[in-house]
Structure 1
């Protein structure tokens, strides 16, 4: 977990406020920070990152939980899967 200069963990409200500020500064449509975690897991999986590494990155102990909960099929992956039936 990230911490401030004194070594104290940031309060969740501080992290959320700074996330919203960053999105605003970059002119990116609001995305909940938690949804970004799901997107991160899905993108890592689509790029071939091993599930155990994705789980560790997201702070999970069980890669199966990570795959069930945080990894979602992307449209490109679904297209590739559909092409296997040709």
Structure 2
């Protein structure tokens, strides 16, 4: 059974900075393989990309749709199931 290519859009500019990464991680974890998150932010999300690499290695694809200078747009596809017991980056205390 093929999963529909659903995209969850999150404008992180409207979310308190302390809450952003936890919300993004929770949203990504709830996706089915083949679904994606599209983020809109006011800065290059390099720290988030590094945390995804540590936390969800092999389970995501990261594509910049827009790169500054005033806003960045990123599509994060879930390309594989998340491995149970994958190490936590510790950022969100999760």
Common fold, TM-score beyond 0.5? no
Q: TM-score normalised to the size of structure 2?
A: 0.27
With a CA cutoff of 8 Å and minimum separation of 6, indicate the structure with the bigger relative contact order.
Answer: 2
Determine which structure has the larger strand proportion and give its number.
2
Q: TM-score normalised to the size of structure 1?
A: 0.29
Determine which structure has the larger helix proportion and give its number.
1
The structure that has the greater radius of gyration is 1
